[in-house]
Amino acid sequence: MDRATLIEMTKDALEHGKAGTMRLAPEVLKVKADIYTDAERFEREKKLIFRRMPLMLAPTAELPNPGDYKAMDAVGVPVLLTRGKDGKVRAFLNSCTHRGTAVAQGTGNASRFICGYHGWTFNRDGELIGVASRDDFGEVNTDELGLKPFPVLEKAGLIWAILDPNSTLDINAFLSGYDTLLEGFGLESWQFFQSRTLKGPNWKIAYDGYLDFYHLPVLHADTFGRNIPNRALFYSFGPHTRVSAPSTVLPMPEGLDLADLAQKDTSEWPTEALMNGVWTIFPHISIATFYGGQRGVMISQLFPGDKVGESFTTQMYLSEKPLTDATRQGLEDQFKLLEYVVQHEDYGTGLRQQKALDAGMTEHVYFGRNEGGGQVFHGWVQKLLDTSNDDLNSLFAPVRQAAE
Ligand code: FES
Ligand SMILES: [Fe+2]
């Protein structure tokens, strides 16, 4: 864990809070409104971003034990994540090498996967270990007929995969050092509580909201936002941005005052206090802390839908410690509130935004100097659309060096 950088960011947020200031981007960014409505561009985004970038497909907590697996759809690609006997996570195209149907559904624990069509069998490492009625079937080279593997990396209690078996992109370089900050959560030992999926507008309209504190006291006035300031500090590491509020009080359960912290050496600052705010992971993840019942995080995982104006967000709720009878209800209530807030307030507004932009009469939208996170995000989306496969690694490598 890069504790020094976490402390630096926290000091920065406290100092800005004390001074009543924030850092502003150099200019207002004007973005063409059709980035949210253009179907042709949408297909390119899916191909050049979601099929090329590492995607955080599951937290470690969702498949913590050997034999645990998760089958899922990721941008139209059926994916199977498994944890082997060796404890390693692997990712495969969830498609039987006989005639292509999926070999697993949902989540569970299994030592092997028997295809439900004709019964070919694969082990957790993706190897084909059984061909039904082999003598009748005829000669095939089983060594070549394992499930197709995707590049995968598990770090900071999170699992990334690239949905391109031939990708040469270095996932570590892509992470740009941000993973060493995310390690501050210690997510590898957290518990998976619940998940659900919500429908929303274009994936960028949905994602913009996670990078934006400007809307909190307005859009969320009726739920949690009425007295929340609309200022934010943005810390970007490569394409990934952490959003934090400039404040003299750290938002922990009992609130931790700057005056109290200043008395103590930074070595005594609790790591928990350094992890507040929203941690976005490009291109489609947001992690935020909540204290209903006990400390938890909601991981929001966004995927573009079939159409340009559609996205799906899986909300996964993790709790730091095992639940007790006393805390379970608090978590339930917190997670229920977050469903309401995101579905009705954020995505309700986003769907109306989508509809208005779909009318095609809005030429531009704007990201203010106070909305630096959105500015960085849209800059990266464009950069990736403009970058060829050959140049992909060079896009991230220099950032990694700077972060080390
Ligand atoms: S498609 Fe899987 S065994 Fe035939
Ligand atoms: Fe919101």
**Residue among 118, 121, 137, 148 to mutate when testing ligand 1 (max atoms within 8 A of CB):** 118
For 1-67, strand residue ranges (E) read 29-32, 55-59
- Any atom of ligand 1 within 6 Å of the Cβ of 285: no
Distance CA 118, CA 133 (A): 9
- Any atom of ligand 1 within 6 Å of the Cβ of 274: no
- Any atom of ligand 1 within 6 Å of the Cβ of 118: yes
Q: Which residue would you say has higher pLDDT here, 319 or 250?
A: 319
- Report pLDDT for 254: 77
Single-letter residue type at 390: D
Question: Mean pLDDT over all residues of the chain?
Answer: 95
Single-letter residue type at 324: T
pLDDT category at 321 given cuts 50, 70, 90 is very high
Domains in the chain: ranges and CATH = 3-53+170-403 (3.90.380.10), 68-155 (2.102.10.10)
Nearest CA to ligand 1 atom 4: 118
- Per-residue pLDDT of 218-250, as tens digits, reads 999 999 999 999 999 999 999 999 999 999 888
Structure tokens at 132: 């039904």
Q: Ligand 1 centroid to 99 CA: how many Å?
A: 5
Q: Ligand 1 centroid to 304 CA: how many Å?
A: 29
- Per-residue pLDDT of 4-30, as tens digits, reads 999 999 999 999 999 999 999 999 999
Q: In sequence order, what DSSP letters do the residues of 137-193 get, joined into one string?
A: H----GGG-SPPEE-EEEETTEEEE-S-TT----HHHHHTTHHHHHGGG-GGG-EEE
Distance CA 172, CA 181 (A): 13
Q: Considering every ligand atom, which ligand is closest to the CA of 117?
A: 1
Structure tokens at 234: 């943005």
